[in-house]
């Protein structure tokens, strides 16, 4: 009996075996195809209900099965699952194309779309109709047959290439180990980090200590280790992932992905991939994105150059460093930060025990949105590290199921993300509630210490939980517009705005207590966190802008003549470089956000959303960070509405006006 083929509410992880996936995906595609055929072959006149709504509700079981599978491929994968992904992805992409290139179905959708002005539709229904029509037209429904065939080929190739890209990055991350046998090489590393490195070595039956390219291992070493040669070795390994001209090399994958995306955009009548993507974003055009990035660059560059000069002088004075390199960045920045603010992560970490921070983010959500969280132990999980919670509102109505998966493992990709196992929607009067998951990579507890987070990890947890709230509080009729189904440059608003609470005394006093003594974080430390929040903000902004510009460089121009990834990347970075280039490294070959995740032509949206979040939080600060009126507006017009309306309209309903860039510049100390 295949557990994925019976209807299930919570994902039946413990019953699923790898051999269940392909039959379940194949069967779910066949069932979804039958639902599509029923819509297409309906002899009644096309209406919103029998065509547009029916289309949005179709394929529910396929969504459930594929979300279980692909979430496992990100958080708990193995070679077998990766092989299945290579087999399943083209099938799913082909099925997606079978829908968007189905002429009879498009005819029905177009029939409804053509009479939209005479239909009495709600705003949500109008948005769905628009989205469905564009889903066809933007994916080739109006193309002649030969071009449709080519489009299918491109989509199948792209789905395989991006999977391969991600597999190579994961394999490269797992492959590298810095094995240390002389304790002197750990000089500068805090005790907790040494213990974690020893524990890692022990887990792999090795003597001494192991440092890896996983963030919780990599970052502390780069920040604290006095051994410059080892920092260099680690930095070069990190920066050269999938750039070794071997079987895990991604240079060809990058070139092929960029060129295929460009060809696809041209087929559909767009100048570049970025023109295609941005038509469905708040930013609308590549020109507008460049204008936005360059305006910020102009503001940030002088600050960044001053900060870099200050760092160079500091490193020279401290250690006689003549030329600051990339592997010196985190180390001397940390030293300078300690000198200027007398603040380092090791002073802060005891106040940020993981369990307390989780309780803290829940408390913030409770005060803002009246949510209540209950840890439960009767929900099936895919790994013992995962915690599960049921979430209720003040009247004890069930709101969502929440999975939290917070520690690195070999089968889990790096970074942090939010995802869902089940969407929210309303069907036949029932409000179907969502199952949402946050996945992060925080230091594991050791034998002597619980998991203590750096302040950066605290903001990451709040960030991902902000995305989580977007899913948890979703309250729309149609699954296709629910939760985070919004314009990509709007999706980061809920996540980035929630980070602001990490800097507020009123919020920190709820959860930042010393893991041994229970003492609340001293207010002078809170003040130092706030004072240091804009430390090297110019350099940080430049770094983010450089990633956005690299993304636009790959996707906003014609890449067909590009044959050298590294040279092309250097050109894109030219206006944002502070450190000398390292020929051995290449960012593009492991830039998973744009070549594997969904951020192609969208990396700028982190900064775009910062403008929104700084403006939104200015409103909270003005009225009080736990002000119920503002929180309710944010919940009603942003968090619960998903993609039911144009995001700028939603934002204006919440804020009363369009966002201004000044709050961001002020917060970043760039005014």
Q: Catalytic pick from 167, 193, 346, 464?
A: 464
* CATH number, residue 109: 1.20.1050.40
Same domain flag for 389 and 515: yes
197 vs 184: CA distance, rounded Å: 14
Output the pLDDT for position 488: 86
439 vs 414: CA distance, rounded Å: 10
List of long-range contacts for 45-50, beta carbons under 8 Å, 24+ apart: 45/111, 46/108, 46/109, 46/111, 46/112, 47/112, 48/112, 48/119, 48/121, 48/125, 48/129
306 in a domain, yes or no? no
Which domain covers residue 210, as residue numbers? Answer: 176-239
Average pLDDT (598-605) is 94
65 vs 95: CA distance, rounded Å: 15
Same domain flag for 401 and 519: yes
Same domain flag for 100 and 188: no
Same domain flag for 64 and 207: no
**Closest among 388, 369, 336, 376 to 473, alpha carbons compared:** 369
For residue range 502-550, list pLDDT tens digits in order. Answer: 999 999 999 999 999 999 999 899 989 988 989 999 999 999 999 999 9
Are β-strands 435-439 and 398-405 bridged in parallel, bridged antiparallel, or unpaired?
Answer: parallel
Kindly report the backbone phi and psi dihedral angles of residue 390, in degrees, each rounded to the nearest multiple of 5, phi listed first.
-100, 140
Q: Is the pLDDT of residue 345 over 90?
A: no
Q: Which of 188, 222, 239 is the last residue of a domain?
A: 239
Q: Is the pLDDT of residue 123 over 90?
A: yes
Output the pLDDT for position 598: 86
Same domain flag for 24 and 110: yes
Place of tokens 């992905």: 257
Output the pLDDT for position 247: 97
Same domain flag for 122 and 202: no
357 in a domain, yes or no? yes
Average pLDDT (328-348) is 93
Same domain flag for 91 and 134: yes
For residue range 406-416, list pLDDT tens digits in order. Answer: 999 989 988 89
Output the pLDDT for position 346: 87
**Closest among 531, 516, 387, 403 to 455, alpha carbons compared:** 531
Beta bridge partners of 438: 404, 418
Q: Is the pLDDT of residue 41 over 90?
A: yes
Same domain flag for 128 and 203: no
CA angle 601-66-398, nearest 5°? 95
Which H or E run includes 430? strand 430-432
Output the pLDDT for position 406: 96
Beta carbons within 10 angstroms of residue 140's beta carbon:
24
The secondary structure of 80-127, three-state, reads HHHHHHHHHHHHHHHHHHHHHCCHHHHHHHHHHHHCHHHCCCCHHHHH
CB 353 within 8 A of CB 515: yes
671 in a domain, yes or no? no
Phi/psi region, residue 477 (left: phi>0; alpha: psi -120 to 50; beta: rest), is: alpha
412 in a domain, yes or no? yes
Average pLDDT (270-279) is 97
Q: Which of 486, 502, 533 is the last residue of a domain?
A: 533
The CA distances from residue 413 to 167, 221, 343, 428, 464, in Å, are 9, 20, 31, 39, 16
Total domains, the chain: 3
Q: Is the pLDDT of residue 671 over 90?
A: no
219 vs 30: CA distance, rounded Å: 46
Composition of the chain by helix, strand, coil, percent to 5: 60, 5, 35
Q: Kindly state the percentage of the chain with pLDDT values over 90.
A: 94
Same domain flag for 393 and 460: yes
Output the pLDDT for position 208: 97
Same domain flag for 383 and 513: yes
Place of tokens 């194949």: 26
Place of tokens 């179709």: 58
pLDDT confidence band for 343 (50 / 70 / 90): confident
Same domain flag for 389 and 511: yes
Q: Tell me the average pLDDT of the chain.
A: 96
The DSSP secondary-structure symbol of 43 reads -
pLDDT confidence band for 443 (50 / 70 / 90): confident
**Closest among 289, 225, 475 to 369, alpha carbons compared:** 475
pLDDT confidence band for 666 (50 / 70 / 90): very high
Structure tokens at 1: 């009996």
* CATH number, residue 488: 1.10.1370.40
515 in a domain, yes or no? yes
Structure tokens at 86: 């290579």
If DSSP codes are grouped into helix, strand and coil, which group holds residue 438?
strand
Q: Which of 239, 259, 284 is the last residue of a domain?
A: 239
The DSSP secondary-structure symbol of 409 reads -
Same domain flag for 194 and 137: no
Output the pLDDT for position 414: 86
572 in a domain, yes or no? no
Phi/psi region, residue 7 (left: phi>0; alpha: psi -120 to 50; beta: rest), is: beta
131 in a domain, yes or no? yes
Active-site annotation holds for 464: yes
Output the pLDDT for position 361: 98
Q: Is the pLDDT of residue 344 over 90?
A: no
Kindly report the backbone phi and psi dihedral angles of residue 335, in degrees, each rounded to the nearest multiple of 5, phi listed first.
-65, -45
Which H or E run includes 375? strand 372-376
Output the pLDDT for position 649: 95
Place of tokens 């090795």: 206
Output the pLDDT for position 144: 93
548 in a domain, yes or no? no
If DSSP codes are grouped into helix, strand and coil, which group holds residue 141?
coil
């Amino acid at each position: 009996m295949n557990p994925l083929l019976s209807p299930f509410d919570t994902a039946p992880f413990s019953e699923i075996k790898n051999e269940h996936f392909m039959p379940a995906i194949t069967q779910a595609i066949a069932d979804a195809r039958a639902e599509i055929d029923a819509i297409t072959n309906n002899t009644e006149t096309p209406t919103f209900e029998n065509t547009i709504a029916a289309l949005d509700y179709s394929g529910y079981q396929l969504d459930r099965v594929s979300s279980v599978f692909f979430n496992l491929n990100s958080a708990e994968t193995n070679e077998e699952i990766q092989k299945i992904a290579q087999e399943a992805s083209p099938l799913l992409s082909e099925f997606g194309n079978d829908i968007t290139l189905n002429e009879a179905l498009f005819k029905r959708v177009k029939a409804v779309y053509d009479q939209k002005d005479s239909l009495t539709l709600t705003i949500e229904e109008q948005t769905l109709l628009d989205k469905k029509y564009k889903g066809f037209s933007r994916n080739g429904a109006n193309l002649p047959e030969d071009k449709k065939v080519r489009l299918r080929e491109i989509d199948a190739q792209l789905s395989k290439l991006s999977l391969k890209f991600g597999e190579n990055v994961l394999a490269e991350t797992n492959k590298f180990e810095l094995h240390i046998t002389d304790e002197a090489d750990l000089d500068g590393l805090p005790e907790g980090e040494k213990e974690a490195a020893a524990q890692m070595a022990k887990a792999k039956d090795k003597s001494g200590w192991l440092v890896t390219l996983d963030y919780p291992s990599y970052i502390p070493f780069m920040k604290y280790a006095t051994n410059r040669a080892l920092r260099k070795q680690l930095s070069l390994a990190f920066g050269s992932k999938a750039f070794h001209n071997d079987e895990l090399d991604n240079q060809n994958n990058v070139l092929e992905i960029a060129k295929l995306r460009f060809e696809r955009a041209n087929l559909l009548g767009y100048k570049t991939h970025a023109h295609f993507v941005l038509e469905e974003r708040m930013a609308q055009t590549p020109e507008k994105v460049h204008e936005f990035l360059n305006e910020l660059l102009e503001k940030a560059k002088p600050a960044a150059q001053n900060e870099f000069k200050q760092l160079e002088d500091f490193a020279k004075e401290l250690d006689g460093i003549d030329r600051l390199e990339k592997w010196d960045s985190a180390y001397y920045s940390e030293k300078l930060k300690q000198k200027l603010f007398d603040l380092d992560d090791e002073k802060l970490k005891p106040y940020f025990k993981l369990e307390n921070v989780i309780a803290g983010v829940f408390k913030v959500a409770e005060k803002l949105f009246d949510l209540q969280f209950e840890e439960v132990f009767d929900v099936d999980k895919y790994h013992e590290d995962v915690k599960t919670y049921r979430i209720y509102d003040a009247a004890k109505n069930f709101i969502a199921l929440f999975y939290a998966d917070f520690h690195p493992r070999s089968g889990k990709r790096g970074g942090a993300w939010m995802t869902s196992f089940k969407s929210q929607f309303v069907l036949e009067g029932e409000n179907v509630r969502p199952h949402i998951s946050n996945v992060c990579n925080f230091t594991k507890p050791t034998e002597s210490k619980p998991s203590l987070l750096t302040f950066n990890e605290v903001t990451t947890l709040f960030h991902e939980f902000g995305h989580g709230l977007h899913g948890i509080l979703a309250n729309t009729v149609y699954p296709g517009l629910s939760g985070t189904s919004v314009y990509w440059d709007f999706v980061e608003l809920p996540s980035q705005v929630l980070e602001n609470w990490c800097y507020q005394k009123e919020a920190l006093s709820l959860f930042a207590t010393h893991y041994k003594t229970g003492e609340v974080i001293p207010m002078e430390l809170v003040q130092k966190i706030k004072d240091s929040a804009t430390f090297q903000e110019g350099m940080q902004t430049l770094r983010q802008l450089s990633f956005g510009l690299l993304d636009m460089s790959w996707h906003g121009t014609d890449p067909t003549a590009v044959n050298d990834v590294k040279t092309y990347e250097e050109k894109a970075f030219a206006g944002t470089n502070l450190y000398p280039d390292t020929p051995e490294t290449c960012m593009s070959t492991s830039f998973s956000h744009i070549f594997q995740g969904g951020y192609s032509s969208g990396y700028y949206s982190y900064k775009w959303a910062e403008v929104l979040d700084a403006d939104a939080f200015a409103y909270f600060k003005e009225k009080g960070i736990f002000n119920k009126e503002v929180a309710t507006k944010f919940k009603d017009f942003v968090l619960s509405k998903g993609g039911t309306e144009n995001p700028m309209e939603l934002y204006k309903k919440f804020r009363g006006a369009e966002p201004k860039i000044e709050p961001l510049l002020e917060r970043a100390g760039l005014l």
